[in-house]
Structure 1
């Protein structure tokens, strides 16, 4: 049979990946960034505004709503500039604590410069891929997530003083190979400012929580 002849599907072969799912507590909500973004923004903001106490000072409500919407839309726009797929944010307090945290989901193709180097191991591919963004002193480890090779990277990103980025943040990324498509990588990036320091106990607890969330990750197959 010629090499380029159509191949019959293998009985019992896995169906192609069409998406993903993760399990999050009810305090978190999803903002899709490709379709339905504005509807999700309005739904989340309306829910947040509905929780403002009826006896709140009228002169405080307007500025509070405006600042909440500004910060929320700023986070969405920042994720969209990164060409992300989904943004997850804690939209309700957890144990009366308002969390400064987010999860950004995106996908990326292996850069041509990395493909041309032809590394022999998939882990080497993602390590070279990560090396291109200039992050130093990161903790790297590898394993599997729902049967796919995954590399976990954790580091602290110092503040650059820009608006909306005034505090240093603790960041954890899972970079996962997409089954059946070795040049595509799925990326789930978690970020938190902790209780004001990316190295405090709250940040440590939230990193452990995100690792537990990623243990629930499963591919959706068509």
Structure 2
């Protein structure tokens, strides 16, 4: 009798954010990560910044960060990536959220993730297949208009990667969502550049094995 050894499923992943970005874990250590980011931001205030206004600046930054963290956590996020240092004097209005593994039933008995991705691609606008660390993943891109009734306060460009976890049983998937706020009258080419940045970040994706 021949014994077939099952390959190990990864227990995590590695993703390299751009310089000037920070990582906020959303399951444990969230508060500590936020506090460190706030301390760094306050330490980088201009030399002439009024000392009496520092507590207000600290409070405003903390409140804004808590809002972003709450939204990411509400969507099942497990890790939040944020730019926290200015680029050419501007802090980019973008974020990346890595969401927890989810289970999706197979399209039909005996089918694998390829069938699931094909089914999702057929109903997802702007979907295409990309390869991440040797695994086929589904990428989609779209502009989301502001819609207060749906809880969307500001229009944004959204790019998502849907990634099967190899050798998982049952089949599990990770999702990576990039969001860039769209300012009225802004140049679409600027957001194309931000999307290229996110795609470059996803190019650093690697599975982790303990």
Global fold match (TM > 0.5) = yes
1:122 aligns with 113
1:159 aligns with 146
On the 8 A contact 1:150/1:174 being kept in 2, the answer is yes
Q: 1:171 aligns with which of 158, 165, 173?
A: 158
- Cα deviation for residue 60 of structure 1 reads 3.8
Matched, 1:143 2:105: no
Q: 1:57 aligns with which of 32, 50, 69?
A: 50
Tell me: CA distance 1:130–1:45, structure 2 relative to 1, closer, same or farther (3 Å): farther
Matched, 1:9 2:8: no
On the 8 A contact 1:84/1:105 being kept in 2, the answer is yes
Q: Which runs of 4+ in 1 moved over 6 A?
A: none
2:174 aligns with 186
- Cα deviation for residue 202 of structure 1 reads 1.6
TM-score (norm 2): 0.85
Q: SS where residue 17 of structure 1 aligns?
A: coil
- Cα deviation for residue 203 of structure 1 reads 0.8
1:212 aligns with 200
RMSD: 2.8
Which runs of 5 or more structure 2 residues have no equivalent in the other structure?
none
TM-score (norm 1): 0.81
1:76 aligns with 69
